[in-house]
């Protein structure tokens, strides 16, 4: 697997009014890698995802994707370069059948440049995508309205929305939340399939046990700062990480 660095954050800092959401954060992600981002609530994880994907502009620092500076670019341009993300509060387009939800990413410039085919074929592309993420092809599920789906399916739809973009990196913001252990277990093979295709993943998670089954590198955040990075076992053994999760200490 090539060891080229795909996504990099250098000294990223963001203040919201007087609150320091993210401070001086550095990390790098290589091709085909999985990075887990963990930390207690309010650690700045979602802000970090927002910064990386262009929804929030950092006050200081840079984000570099495939060697090019993408700091401050609008979200759709970043998505078109190959950086996709899921949303935590995850809202599919109401009232539309599930497969129609994928119309939006399939119409993005990125897909239209690479994919051949007339507009009429988008429906079958969408159905293929749904099948890849685990919707049974010949059932009625892809045709049901998206908000009537059970949670597990909705999460898969979210991932399908990302995959439709043919991204190189997918940022998953708490994609395991709300799922049972069985549901997560059935989702891990999907993530591994994505990895085997060369898509790098950043998983922001609270469900540590399940996360550690798939990732070998973890970044711990607390009060906006990176306090540890490394293999899961090693990182969890550190006293400052335990303190972060149990709650000793106050923001500097």
Partner 1 sequence: MESVLVYGTINSIIFALNAIGFSLVYGVSRVPNFAHGSIYVLAGFVAWSLVNDLGLPYPLAVAIALAFSAVIGWGIHRLVLRRLRGLPTSEIIASFAVGLIILEGLRLQGIGGFKGFIGPNYVLKPFVDGKIEVLGVFVDSQRLLVVGVGLVLAPVLWAFTHHTRLGLSLRAVAQDEQAAMMLGVHSDRSALIAMVLGSALAGLAAVLVLPLGNVTCEVGYQVLIYALAVCIVGGLGNWAGTVLASFLLGFAMKVSTHWFGAVWESVVLVGTIILVLLVKPSGLLGKQKELEERV
Partner 2 sequence: MSTRKLRKRRVDRGIHVRTRGLYALSSYREMAYLLAPRLFLLVGLLGLPPALDLYGQRVLCAAAVFAMPALAFDFLAEYVGLVCLGGALFIGFGGYAAGFLNARLGLSPVLTIPLGTLAGACLSTLVILPCLRLRGVYFAMVTFMIPLFARHVIVALGLLGSTEGITGLDTLPDPLIEIYVILAAVLASLFALRRLVNEDLGLILRGIKENDQAVAASGISILRYRVLAVFIASCIGCFAGAYLAHLYGWLGLSLFAMDFSILPIAAAVMGGTGTLAGPVVGAFLLTSLSEALRGFGQLRVVLYCLVLLAFILYKPEGLLKVLERKYQQFERREEV
Binding site for partner 1 (CB under 8 A): 16-17, 50, 55-57
User: Considering the complex, what minimum distance in angstroms separates the CB of residue 111 from partner 2?
Assistant: 7
User: Considering the complex, what minimum distance in angstroms separates the CB of residue 57 from partner 1?
Assistant: 7
CA distances from residue 212 to 32, 38, 147, 192, 200 in whole angstroms, order as listed? 16, 11, 30, 13, 16
The sheet with strand 5-16 has its strands ordered as: 19-30, 5-16, 60-65, 68-69
What residues between 33 and 72 interact with partner 2 by CB under 8 A?
Answer: 53, 55
Binding window for partner 2 (CB under 8 A); candidates: 12-20, 79-87, 192-200, 218-226: 79-87
CB 91 within 8 A of CB 49: no
User: Considering the complex, what minimum distance in angstroms separates the CB of residue 224 from partner 1?
Assistant: 17
Per partner kind, with CB cut-offs from 5 to 8 A, the member of partner 2, partner 1, none near residue 45 is none
What whole-number distance in Å separates Cα of residue 206 and Cα of residue 228?
A: 16
Of 22 and 163, nearer to partner 2 (C-beta) is 163
Q: Does 230 bind partner 2 (CB under 8 A)?
A: no
* HSE, side-chain direction, 13 A CA sphere, residue 72: 6
User: Considering the complex, what minimum distance in angstroms separates the CB of residue 114 from partner 1?
Assistant: 26
Q: Which of 58, 57, 55, 77 is nearest to 68 (CA)?
A: 77
What residues between 152 and 181 interact with partner 2 by CB under 8 A?
Answer: 161, 164-165
Q: Does 73 bind partner 2 (CB under 8 A)?
A: no
Structure tokens at 142: 């892809």
CA distances from residue 30 to 16, 84, 120, 179 in whole angstroms, order as listed? 30, 16, 37, 28
Q: Tokens 């949670």 belong to which residue?
A: 151
Q: Does 74 bind partner 2 (CB under 8 A)?
A: yes
User: Considering the complex, what minimum distance in angstroms separates the CB of residue 75 from partner 1?
Assistant: 10
**What residue ranges bind partner 2 (CB under 8 A)?**
53, 55, 74-77, 79-80, 84-85, 87, 91, 93-94, 96, 100, 103-105, 107-111, 119, 122, 161, 164-165
């Amino acid at each position: 697997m090539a060891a080229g660095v795909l996504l990099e954050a250098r000294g990223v800092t963001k203040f919201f009014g007087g609150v320091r959401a993210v401070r001086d954060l550095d990390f790098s992600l290589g091709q085909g890698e999985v990075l887990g981002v963990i930390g207690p609530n309010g650690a700045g994880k979602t802000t970090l995802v927002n910064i990386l994907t262009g929804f929030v502009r950092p006050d200081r620092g840079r984000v570099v994707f495939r060697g090019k500076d993408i700091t401050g670019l609008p979200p759709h341009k970043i998505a078109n370069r190959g950086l996709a993300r899921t949303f935590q509060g995850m809202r599919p387009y109401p009232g539309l059948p599930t497969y129609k939800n994928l119309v939006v990413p399939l119409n993005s410039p990125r897909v239209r440049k690479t994919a051949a085919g007339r507009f009429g074929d988008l429906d079958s592309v969408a159905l293929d995508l749904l099948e890849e993420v685990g919707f049974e092809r010949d059932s009625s599920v892809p045709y049901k309205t998206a908000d009537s789906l059970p949670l597990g399916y909705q999460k898969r739809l979210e991932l399908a929305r990302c995959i439709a973009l043919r991204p190189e990196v997918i940022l998953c913001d708490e994609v395991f939340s709300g799922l049972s252990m069985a549901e997560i277990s059935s989702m891990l093979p999907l993530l591994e399939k994505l990895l085997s295709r060369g898509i790098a993943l950043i998983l922001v998670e609270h469900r540590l046990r399940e996360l550690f089954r798939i990732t070998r590198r973890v970044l711990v955040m607390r009060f906006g700062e990176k306090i540890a990075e490394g293999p899961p076992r090693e990182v969890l053994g550190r006293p400052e990480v335990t303190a972060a999760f149990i709650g000793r200490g106050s923001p500097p």
